[in-house]
Structures are given as C-alpha cells and as structure tokens.
Amino acid sequence: MAHIDYFTITLSPFAYLAGTGLEEVARKHGATITYKPFNLMQVFEQTGGTPPAQRHPARQAYRLQELARIAKRNDMPINLKPVHFPTNPAPSCYALIAAQDAGGGDLGGLCHSFLRACWAEEKDVAEDAVIRACLEQYGFDPKLADSGLLSGAQTFEKNTEEALQRNVFGAPSYVVGDQVFWGQDRLSYLDDYLSELGK
C-alpha cells in the first residue's frame, strides 16, 4: 500500500485550492496519508524561498491573478486579500497534529476547514474559538485545541526538519518515498505515479 506524506500549512492558499483532491487520489489508490504541518517560513529561509509580502510587485500581482484563475477553474470561493492573512498558523497546525494523534474524525475535512476558514470565510485560524469549532465539526474533541499544544509544537518542529531533509521547499507538497510533488496542480502527477506503483 502506498503512503503519502502531506507537508502543508493551514494558511496556504494553494493548499486550500487543492480542495479534497489529495484525499480523492489517496482513496482511488488505497493509499494512506500522514498530515505533516510544518513551518513554511523557516523552510523558505533555508531553501532560498521568499515570503509573499517580500516578493517583487510583479510576482505578487501574478500570484493574485493565478489564485483567482485556479479558484474559478475549481469553482471555489476565495478572498484574495483575507482580513486574517497573514496570521499565526501554529495553533491550527498544532490542533491538526493533535487530531491526527487522537484519531476518530475526518482529518482531511479538518485540514481543509482551517484553510477554508482563512481563504473563504474571513475567520482567524489563530483564534481558539475557530479552531474548536473546526475540530468539533469534523468529529474531534474541541479540547484538543488545548491538550495538544505541547506535543503539537514538538511534532511541528520535527515535521519542519523532516521537510528540509526530504527536499520539501513549499506547500502543499505531497511526498511518496523520494518523490516530491509540489503544488495543488501536481496532484495529477501524484495520481499517475501511484498508478505506476500499483502495477
């Protein structure tokens, strides 16, 4: 059975625009997924990436055009300049990690709910009430927002180190063995690769 390590962050607009595509590909191939929220800004610093706000105006303008085009193609609502972006992604990332450790709910739905909260619902995913509501909606104990802080922080740090070791430099990244698929537009390549593995 194939396994996908999903390196993500709960503020990535491109991870949001992937929708539930990863989960659909995994179901198609009977693959398992480990969700690995990580510190994207730290990875940018160490791999030569530039945070969006520090990019040349031409790159910033193109990014907004691209987000609008992808959202339209995928029939997904998006606010290109959300009120709560950027915000602190750590609390929601820790909650996602804690939910994965606890089990019992819809982890893919939870991950997407954090992304949707930022990019379509004008909610702050750093706020405890938002995190608790998402946890509860997708079948997890809302108290994980508190109880999972320490273990979540430790795993978040480990995931960041692992991302660097496995040549991950952006989000979303889908990793199978030594193969890295970066960006929501690479899900079809992931699909093809898993088909080859299954032969």
pLDDT digits (tens, 9 = 90+) for 55-83: 999 999 999 999 999 999 999 999 999 99
Residues 29, 21, 184, 171, CA torsion sign: negative
Q: Are 123 and 130 in contact (CB under 8 A)?
A: yes
pLDDT at position 148:
78
Query: Which of 149, 175, 150, 148 minimizes the C-alpha distance to 164?
Result: 175
Whether the upstream peptide bond of residue 172 has omega within 30° of 0, thus cis, is yes
Q: Are 77 and 11 in contact (CB under 8 A)?
A: no
The angle that helices 128-137 and 107-119 make with each other, rounded to 10 degrees, is 140
pTM over 0.85: yes
pLDDT tens, residue by residue, 184-195: 999 999 999 999
Q: Are 164 and 47 in contact (CB under 8 A)?
A: yes
User: What SS3 state is found at 40?
Assistant: helix
